[in-house]
Amino acid sequence: MRLPLDDDSFDGVDDDDTDEEFDSGDDSADEPTIPCPWCREDVYEDAVQCPSCGKYLSAEDAPPVRRPLWIIVTALVCLFLVVRFLIGW
């Protein structure tokens, strides 16, 4: 919907010419979409992450998961106790 222009603000550009520039085609309609496995919204087939829910579409695209610190600390303490037992302190 176009708003009427004031007589002072008319720049001499024909509105019919400018519409053709913006109606050159919608490329996004040509690209295939698939449903997101998490939220079922349509996403582009070559997308890495869903724009709707933000989750990764496949496990290999997701960043690596860090192990919690308590697991690492527990493993180091157990390793220290085993080494201490073997040495005989």
Structural domain harbouring 53: 30-63
* Total domain count, the chain: 1
- 41 domain-assigned: yes
- 44 domain-assigned: yes
Instruction: Please check whether residue 34 is in contact with residue 42, taking contact to mean a CB–CB distance below 8 angstroms.
Output: yes
- 57 domain-assigned: yes
Element (H, E) at 43: strand 42-44
pLDDT tens by residue, the chain, 89 residues:
555 555 555 555 555 555 555 555 555 567 899 999 989 999 998 999 999 999 988 888 888 888 789 999 999 999 999 999 998 76
- 49 domain-assigned: yes
Question: What would the two tokens of residue 33 be?
Answer: 């979409």
- 37 domain-assigned: yes
61/48 Cα distance (integer angstroms): 6
- 18 domain-assigned: no
Q: Is the dihedral of CA 58, 60, 61, 63 positive or negative?
A: positive
- Reference 37, options 18, 62, 12, 15; nearest CA is 62
